[in-house]
């Protein structure tokens, strides 16, 4: 897309520097950005983070391959690419109005008048014939509207800005696609790990039921305890299909995101893999840098430029227009057997038009264009505020999930210590086997919660990279990192 972007940038530069544009409209100021983030971590790291291929920092080849496939085959992305090509064509159409047009015209025909008879000389005197006439004409015509007040330049500028906005929708679609693939993949690996731990816990609960039944037969446990354990086991087993369903749904979503039928990835992704052990660096981009990094903000900015140029072009409709025209050609006529007659013709002209009365049409078009500029300027500000909110929320979610991970790490250590101590008591005869099973179940439960927290933290990090607009710049900005 770089040649296309350079061509559009050239169009914008040329129109901004065009000669006489008294109707040009000044752009509204960009939204004011805060100096820093409220929720960002406070500990800086000196190494720069590159936003372009942030997902590779997870060091997961399966995730890398899924994203490569999505970038190559996702239908939404292909549709956005087609819209970019369409927008590029509209720019050429708008720019064509800046240049003269040259057309060829020509015609030919034969005419026979049966109501007329003429005498023509022959070998045996004059003969009476019905005359025929052959006619041929051809030539070139040219027309050029002199852009005295810059209207056509402004229209070309508006088209170029709109095309840049369409290209930014492609970049935004790419950023969103990357985040969706990574999020669904991480959630899949998290669910698969939770399912494995859940199945281990079910085995512990089955063993506990078996032990209680043995105790009951020996008169060491009440029947109510056995029934309660059976109810607990059945309730737990009822939750297992929901976990399996979630995993299947995530795989099917990944298939669609990568442009494949829903069942394509079932065999490949059904095999569980652990969550990525590597964690990408947390980026810390200044709020003002979002204006250059996030595609949705760049799109909103392009819409403002297009609307301002459109307003200027609408105002130029009030001013006169000067059109130069020229044509030249030839004509030939042959009647009967007489020698043909031919001649060359040319014409030069200039036309000046200016609006006098149009029932308020032009003024209404100007008012509509002015309102359009106000709309897109307000949308630009809104989009920027939402971008700030996205980043703050992602920072907050990541910090909260990490805090939960730390607490659960302590809980896991405590659960492991409790299990080890209970087994030691059991070996000495100071505790029964039910206590050992309960300590195992407790640890498995803590491990399951830790997997959930780890998954949430990784997904929050993906959301942070998405909020920063990572994943599309050919030359991403280097940013501070935490």
Indicate whether 306 and 329 sit together in one domain.
no
Phi/psi for 345 (5° steps) reads -135, 155
Q: Mark 70-87 as b/e (b = at least 16 C-beta within 10 Å).
A: bbeebebbeebeebbeeb
Phi/psi for 33 (5° steps) reads -105, 145
Indicate whether 405 and 294 sit together in one domain.
yes
pLDDT at 46: 30
Indicate whether 455 and 362 sit together in one domain.
yes
CA–CA dist 310, 440 (Å, integer) = 70
CA–CA dist 141, 47 (Å, integer) = 65
CA–CA dist 104, 118 (Å, integer) = 36
Indicate whether 118 and 51 sit together in one domain.
no
Q: Residue 315, Cβ neighbours under 10 Å: how many?
A: 22
Q: Which of 87, 112, 291 is nearest to 169 (CA)?
A: 87
Answer for the pair 18, 155: CB distance below 8 angstroms, yes or no: no
Indicate whether 348 and 210 sit together in one domain.
no
Indicate whether 179 and 217 sit together in one domain.
yes
Domain range for 106 is 102-146+320-353
pLDDT at 119: 57
Indicate whether 43 and 87 sit together in one domain.
yes
pLDDT at 479: 41
Q: Which of 328, 353, 378 is the endpoint of a domain?
A: 353
CA–CA dist 319, 129 (Å, integer) = 61
pLDDT at 258: 94
pLDDT string in tens for the chain (482-residue length): 555 555 555 555 544 444 446 778 888 888 888 877 777 776 543 334 557 788 998 999 999 999 999 999 999 999 999 999 999 999 999 999 999 999 998 887 777 666 566 555 656 656 556 667 778 888 899 999 999 999 999 999 999 999 999 999 999 999 999 999 999 999 999 999 999 999 999 999 999 999 999 999 999 889 999 999 999 999 999 999 999 999 999 999 999 999 999 888 998 999 999 998 877 777 777 788 888 889 999 999 999 999 999 999 999 999 999 999 999 988 777 665 555 667 888 889 999 999 999 999 999 999 999 999 999 999 999 999 999 999 999 999 999 999 999 999 999 999 999 999 999 998 998 888 999 999 999 999 999 999 999 999 999 999 999 998 887 655 444 444 44
Tell me the CA end-to-end span of the chain in Å, nearest whole number. Answer: 32
CA–CA dist 102, 73 (Å, integer) = 43
Tally of CA atoms within 13 A in the half-sphere of 93 that contains its CB = 9
Indicate whether 361 and 413 sit together in one domain.
yes
Q: Mark 130-154 as b/e (b = at least 16 C-beta within 10 Å).
A: ebeeeeeeebeeeeebebebbbbbb
Phi/psi for 97 (5° steps) reads -70, -15
Q: Which of 361, 282, 373, 375 is nearest to 318 (CA)?
A: 361
pLDDT at 478: 41
Helices 433-467 and 361-427, axial angle in degrees (round to 10) = 160
Ranges assigned E (strand) in 74-115: 101-112
Q: Which helix (H) or strand (E) covers residue 434, if one does?
A: helix 433-467
Tally of CA atoms within 13 A in the half-sphere of 84 that contains its CB = 21
Indicate whether 125 and 79 sit together in one domain.
no
Q: Count how many domains the chain has.
A: 2
Give the DSSP per-residue string, 165-227.
HHHHHHHHHHHHHHHHHHHHHHHHHHHHHHHHHHHHHHHHHHHHHHHHHHHHHTTSS-HHHHH
Indicate whether 328 and 434 sit together in one domain.
no
Tally of CA atoms within 13 A in the half-sphere of 164 that contains its CB = 24
Indicate whether 335 and 449 sit together in one domain.
no
Indicate whether 43 and 11 sit together in one domain.
yes
Phi/psi for 270 (5° steps) reads -65, -25
């Amino acid at each position: 897309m770089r040649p296309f972007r350079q061509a559009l940038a050239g169009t914008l530069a040329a129109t901004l520097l065009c000669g006489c544009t008294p109707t040009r409209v000044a752009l509204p100021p960009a939204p004011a950005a805060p100096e820093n983030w409220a929720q960002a971590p406070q500990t800086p790291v000196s190494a720069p983070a590159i936003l372009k291929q942030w997902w590779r920092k997870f060091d997961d080849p399966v995730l890398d391959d899924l994203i490569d496939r999505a970038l190559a085959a996702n239908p939404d992305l292909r549709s956005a690419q087609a819209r970019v090509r369409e927008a590029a064509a509209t720019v050429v159409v708008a720019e064509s109005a800046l240049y003269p047009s040259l057309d060829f015209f020509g015609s030919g025909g034969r005419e026979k008048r049966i109501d007329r008879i003429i005498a023509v000389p022959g070998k045996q005197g004059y003969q009476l014939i019905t005359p025929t006439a052959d006619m041929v004409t051809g030539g070139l015509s040219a027309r050029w509207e002199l852009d005295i007040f810059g209207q056509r330049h402004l229209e070309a500028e508006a088209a170029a800005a709109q095309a840049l906005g369409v290209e930014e929708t492609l970049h935004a679609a790419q950023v969103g696609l990357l985040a969706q693939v990574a999020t669904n993949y991480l959630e899949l690996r998290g669910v698969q790990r939770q399912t494995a731990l859940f199945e281990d816990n079910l085995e512990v609960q089955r063993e506990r039921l078996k032990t209680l039944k043995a105790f009951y037969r020996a008169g060491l446990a009440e029947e109510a305890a056995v029934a309660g354990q059976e109810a607990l086991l059945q309730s737990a087993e009822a939750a297992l299909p929901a976990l399996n369903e979630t995993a299947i749904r995530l795989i099917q979503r990944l298939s669609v995101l990568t442009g494949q039928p829903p069942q394509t990835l079932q065999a490949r992704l059904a095999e569980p893999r652990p969550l990525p052990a590597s964690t990408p660096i947390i980026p810390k981009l200044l709020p003002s840098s979002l204006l250059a990094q996030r595609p949705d903000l760049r799109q909103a900015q392009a819409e403002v430029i297009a609307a301002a140029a459109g307003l200027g072009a609408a105002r130029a409709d009030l001013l006169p227009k000067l059109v130069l025209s020229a044509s030249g050609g030839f004509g030939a006529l042959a009647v009967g057997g007489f020698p043909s007659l031919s001649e060359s013709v040319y014409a030069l002209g200039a036309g000046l038009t200016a609006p006098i009365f149009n029932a308020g049409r032009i003024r209404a078009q100007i008012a509509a264009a002015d309102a359009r500029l106000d709309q897109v300027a307000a949308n630009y500000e809104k989009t920027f505020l939402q971008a700030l909110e996205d980043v703050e929320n992602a920072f907050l979610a990541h910090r909260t999930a990490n805090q939960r991970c730390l607490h659960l790490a302590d809980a896991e250590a405590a659960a492991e210590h409790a299990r080890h101590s209970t087994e030691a008591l059991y070996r000495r005869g100071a505790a029964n086997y039910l206590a050992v099973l309960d300590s195992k179940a407790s640890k498995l439960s803590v491990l399951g919660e830790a997997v959930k927290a780890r998954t949430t933290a990784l997904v929050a990090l993906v959301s942070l990279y998405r909020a920063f607009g990572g994943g599309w710049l050919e030359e991403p900005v280097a940013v501070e990192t935490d």
